[in-house]
Homo-oligomer: A and B are copies of this chain.
Amino acid sequence: MKAEIIAIGTEILLGEIIDTNSAHIAQQLPELGIDLFYKTVVGDNLGRIVETFERAWSRSDLIITTGGLGPTDDDMTREGISAVLGETPTVDPDLERRLRGFFAGRGYPMPESNIKQAWLIPSSRALLNPRGTAPGWWVEKDGRIIVSMPGVPPEMERMWTNEVRPELERRSDGQVLVTRTLKTVGIGEGTVDEMARPLYGTPDIGIGTYARADGVHLRIGAKGATREDAWRRIRPVEQEMERIFGSAIWGKDGDTLEGYIADQMHARGATLATMESCTGGLLSSILTDVPGASEYYKGGLITYQTQHKIDAGVPAEVIEEFGVYSPETAKAMARAVCNRLGSDYGIGITGLAGGEPPSDSPPGTVHIGVATPEGTERSLTITMNSGRAAVKRRAVTTALLLLRRALLDEAR
């Protein structure tokens, strides 16, 4: 099945909103056996919406649209579909009742402009939207399908998961594509590529390498008549990759470094605390994005000022001798926060996040320290000239990787 995605809205076209809906959908199409060939963004202009729908209708079996289902004159997705199919919308009594009920439940009358959210055309049926007023449309005609969903991400995601995806799964007949991503760290992309090369010729298997913030990812893909069938092809390749890369692989598929750390801490019954300066709490925020982090994460200190570092237990002599931005201070911060918050492991981060791109301001240099229950500390320093936000993000990734390294070394 050949598919394309059309995102509708001037705000998306002009970059005022980043379109995350398309990625959400696109990521799930391969496993449904659906090939995605194009994605188009078009503004709130009926002529251009119709032109875009006409082309899509001529070349794709499945058209998925997001946005343009609101109640205002700017919302023209229904009008565009109706024009391309040559059908006339009418108010559906069931949808109208539901819509008026939605407003009545909130205690105010429905603005009459909203009535178009109760429209249907002969080829469409409504997709329920319990999170908002705009139902979606499932349109089917001449062997082609158009699925229209709202642009508000929580509404879109729920409609996709509960209504659209299951229906597409039922119709999936072709070959499904299954992928397994193995996440490595500490090896450059060129070397990963060379190490994986012996497996590149495996029949019916596609292999790719991708450089990412958290290391190089290896993706193994296989098609099959069923998911089980595709998995049977992937498994031996995955096992061989695990043999080749060993502990350089830290996770797979949706795994995150913070999730890996959480798992390791839970497994050891150990606890962690953090003391951050230039990352300003980003490390602790990411650690606590993992549900259940409270079981191992003791808490953090954001010691944005030198005196606060000293008050929290960093020896003033260390700061005096090596400077507040130094590997020694980072290690002392890691140790101090273990003592202060009674944790087994500690992370300290100090440095300057640097200026903003694309100017050529001085690069950011960040020192990261890790303290372990055995009483050892280690540190790593990164230098990047890519703007404050990127330096903060990279420093946090590096901190998680350095802690992983310490955990692996202990396990030996």
A residues near B (Cβ < 8 Å) are 11, 13-16, 18, 20, 22-27, 29-30, 36-43, 45, 48, 52, 55, 154, 157-158, 161-162, 210, 274, 276, 278-285, 287-289, 291, 293-294, 297-305, 308, 341, 355-358, 386, 388-390, 392
Q: A11-B210, A36-B14, A289-B280 are in contact. Are A305 and B294 (CB under 8 A)?
A: yes
6 nearest A-B residue pairs (beta carbon): A281-B281, A280-B288, A15-B23, A281-B284, A15-B26, A300-B302
CB of A279 within 8 A of CB of B289, answer no
CB of A294 within 8 A of CB of B287, answer no
Q: A13-B26, A40-B38 are in contact. Are A358 and B304 (CB under 8 A)?
A: no
User: With a CB–CB cut-off of 8 A, which chain B residues contact A283?
Assistant: 281
Closest CB in chain B relative to A115 CB, distance in Å: 17
Closest CB in chain B relative to A198 CB, distance in Å: 19
CB of B289 within 8 A of CB of A302, answer no
Q: A38-B41, A281-B300, A300-B302 are in contact. Are A386 and B154 (CB under 8 A)?
A: yes
> 15 A-B contacts, Cβ less than 8 Å apart?
A13-B36, A15-B23, A16-B210, A18-B18, A37-B42, A38-B42, A40-B40, A157-B358, A158-B357, A276-B281, A280-B289, A280-B300, A281-B302, A294-B304, A298-B304
User: With a CB–CB cut-off of 8 A, which chain B residues contact A386?
Assistant: 154
Closest CB in chain B relative to A45 CB, distance in Å: 8
Q: A11-B210, A282-B285 are in contact. Are A39 and B36 (CB under 8 A)?
A: no
Residue of B nearest to A47 (CB): B37
In angstroms, Cα B360 to Cα A158, docked, is 10
User: With a CB–CB cut-off of 8 A, which chain B residues contact A39?
Assistant: 13, 40-41
User: With a CB–CB cut-off of 8 A, which chain B residues contact A154?
Assistant: 357-358, 386, 390
CB of B304 within 8 A of CB of A301, answer no
In angstroms, Cα B42 to Cα A355, docked, is 34
Q: A14-B26, A30-B14, A52-B38 are in contact. Are A284 and B297 (CB under 8 A)?
A: no
CB of A305 within 8 A of CB of B299, answer yes
CB of A356 within 8 A of CB of B38, answer no
In angstroms, Cα B274 to Cα A3, docked, is 49
Closest CB in chain B relative to A275 CB, distance in Å: 10
Interface SS majority for chain A: mixed
CB of B291 within 8 A of CB of A280, answer no
In angstroms, Cα B45 to Cα A358, docked, is 32
In angstroms, Cα B366 to Cα A220, docked, is 42
Further contacts, 14 of them, CB under 8 A, given A14-B26, A281-B284: A14-B30, A18-B20, A22-B41, A38-B42, A38-B52, A39-B40, A40-B40, A276-B281, A280-B281, A280-B300, A297-B304, A299-B301, A299-B302, A299-B303
In angstroms, Cα B293 to Cα A281, docked, is 13
CB of B11 within 8 A of CB of A15, answer no
User: With a CB–CB cut-off of 8 A, which chain B residues contact A300?
Assistant: 280-281, 301-302, 304
User: With a CB–CB cut-off of 8 A, which chain B residues contact A43?
Assistant: 36-37
User: With a CB–CB cut-off of 8 A, which chain B residues contact A341?
Assistant: 308
Closest CB in chain B relative to A37 CB, distance in Å: 6
Closest CB in chain B relative to A209 CB, distance in Å: 11
CB of A280 within 8 A of CB of B293, answer yes
User: With a CB–CB cut-off of 8 A, which chain B residues contact A18?
Assistant: 18, 20, 23
User: With a CB–CB cut-off of 8 A, which chain B residues contact A11?
Assistant: 210
* Interface hub of A279, A289, A304, A388 (most chain B Cβ within 10 A): A304
Closest CB in chain B relative to A197 CB, distance in Å: 14
* Interface hub of A18, A278, A287, A305 (most chain B Cβ within 10 A): A305
Of the candidates B278, B284, B308, B392, the one whose C-beta lies within 8 Å of that of A280 is: B284
CB of B15 within 8 A of CB of A24, answer yes
Closest CB in chain B relative to A46 CB, distance in Å: 13
Residue of B nearest to A22 (CB): B15
Closest CB in chain B relative to A47 CB, distance in Å: 10
